[in-house]
């Protein structure tokens, strides 16, 4: 009996302990099942996008909070502006503290276009050459200038006592060629910005010799026509009137070339307009006036005059403009 009571007592005391062990074992198993180890490999694509989006939103939120929550103090000192004002302020020393050589380089600036130095030297040589002609042949030079408004000088052009001797004619013809060549050089390369295979002084010399050759060929063709049609006197008068016109134009191109090489580019169109006006006035007043007076003494069909003007007066100018590739604006 006593053994039976002890057994029952032991059984009663052992049931709660067994139940506790069962619960702990179940809990351990459940926790083991629920808690999975963290995956330490690369994050999936959608998760990385979501993480980046959240980080961007947080960055924008922090930026807006820093910009709008608290405004900067308007009275705070600007060290950069204060340093500039301190370095450049007037110290009441009558500007004696300013240095003659500035050490400040502000920006890159714009390069100022400069013309060739040799152009001024050529203009000086041409002016000296014209002065020498005026000193050595003052009477002939006076006849050239008087031919512009004195009809008596033009009427003597084709006679034996021509107002210009041979050497003065050659000198003025060379002056016309080189002056016209310099004007064309400055016009094409300085204003129209046309570039050729040659340039500089070589281009100027080439243009001058081409002009001299063209006008010399024109005079020779006129002499040949006068010999063929037996009108030498008429042709001589016409060549003299034509040469006087060219020589007066040379004295227009010489100061124009000087102004062309010194003035700014914005004033060049006005200079060209004045030059064109003067050349037209000289042609109308001297060339056409003398030509009409010469042609009126010799009757021939007006068609021949039209052919001559197109072949020897207008066409060479158009060919020269086309060869130089000058575009009128």
Rounded Cα gap, residues 58 and 64, in angstroms: 10
Which pLDDT score is estimated for 328?
A: 47
222 with 238: CB under 8 angstroms? yes
Within 8 A by CB and 6+ apart from 317, the residues are none
206 with 198: CB under 8 angstroms? yes
- Among residues of the chain, what percentage have pLDDT more than 70? 62
The sign of the dihedral angle between the CA atoms of 116, 117, 121, 123 is positive
Which pLDDT score is estimated for 203?
A: 92
Which pLDDT score is estimated for 20?
A: 44
Q: What is the DSSP string of 43-87?
A: PPHHHHHHHHHHHHHHHHHHHHHHHHSSPPPTTS--HHHHHHHHH
Q: Is the pLDDT of residue 8 over 60?
A: no
Calculate the dihedral angle through the C-alpha atoms of 202, 205, 207, 210, rounding to the nearest 10 degrees.
-120
User: What are 163-178's pLDDT values in tens digits?
Assistant: 678 889 999 999 999 9
| Domain residue spans of the chain | 117-324
N- to C-terminal Cα distance for the chain?
Answer: 140
- pLDDT bracket for residue 212 (50, 70, 90): very high
Within 8 A by CB and 6+ apart from 16, the residues are none
User: What are 217-236's pLDDT values in tens digits?
Assistant: 988 988 888 888 787 887 88
User: What are 277-320's pLDDT values in tens digits?
Assistant: 998 888 887 767 666 666 666 666 667 767 777 777 777 777 77
Residue 293's nearest CA partner among 148, 150, 154, 144 is: 154
- Tell me the Ramachandran region of residue 43: left when phi exceeds 0, alpha when psi lies from -120 to 50, beta otherwise: beta
Measured N-to-C along each axis, helices 166-185 and 138-146 cross at an angle, to the nearest 10 degrees, of 60
Backbone angles phi, psi at 148, to 5 degrees: -70, -35
Stated pTM of the model:
0.61
């Amino acid at each position: 009996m006593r053994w039976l009571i002890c057994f029952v007592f032991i059984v009663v005391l052992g049931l709660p302990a067994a139940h506790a062990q069962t619960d702990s074992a179940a809990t351990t198993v459940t926790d083991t099942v629920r808690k999975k180890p963290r995956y330490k490999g690369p994050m999936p694509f959608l998760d990385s996008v979501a993480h980046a989006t959240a980080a961007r939103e947080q960055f924008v939120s922090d930026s807006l909070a820093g910009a709008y929550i608290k405004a900067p103090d308007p009275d705070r000192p600007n060290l950069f502006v204060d340093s500039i004002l301190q370095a450049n302020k007037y110290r009441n020393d009558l500007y004696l503290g300013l240095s003659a050589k500035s050490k400040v380089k502000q920006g890159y600036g714009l390069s100022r276009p400069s013309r060739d130095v040799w152009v001024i030297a050529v203009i000086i040589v041409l002016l000296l050459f014209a002065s020498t002609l005026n000193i050595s042949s003052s009477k002939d030079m006076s006849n050239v200038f008087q031919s512009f408004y004195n009809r008596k000088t033009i009427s003597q052009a084709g006679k034996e006592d021509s107002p210009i001797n041979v050497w003065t004619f050659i000198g003025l013809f060379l002056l016309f060629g080189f002056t016209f060549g310099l004007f064309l050089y400055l016009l094409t390369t300085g204003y129209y910005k046309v570039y050729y295979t040659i340039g500089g002084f070589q281009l100027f010399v080439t243009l001058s010799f081409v002009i001299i050759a063209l006008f010399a060929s024109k005079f020779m063709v006129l002499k040949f026509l006068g010999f063929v049609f037996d009108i030498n006197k008429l042709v001589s008068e016409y060549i003299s009137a034509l040469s006087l016109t060219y020589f007066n134009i040379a004295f227009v191109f010489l100061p124009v070339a000087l102004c062309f090489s010194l003035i700014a580019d914005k004033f060049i169109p006005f200079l060209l307009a004045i030059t064109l006006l003067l050349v037209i006035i000289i042609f109308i007043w001297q060339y056409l006036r003398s030509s009409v007076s010469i042609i009126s003494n010799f009757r021939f069909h007006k068609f021949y005059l039209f052919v001559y003007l197109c072949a020897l007066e207008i066409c060479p100018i158009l060919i020269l403009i086309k060869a130089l590739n000058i575009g009128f604006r």
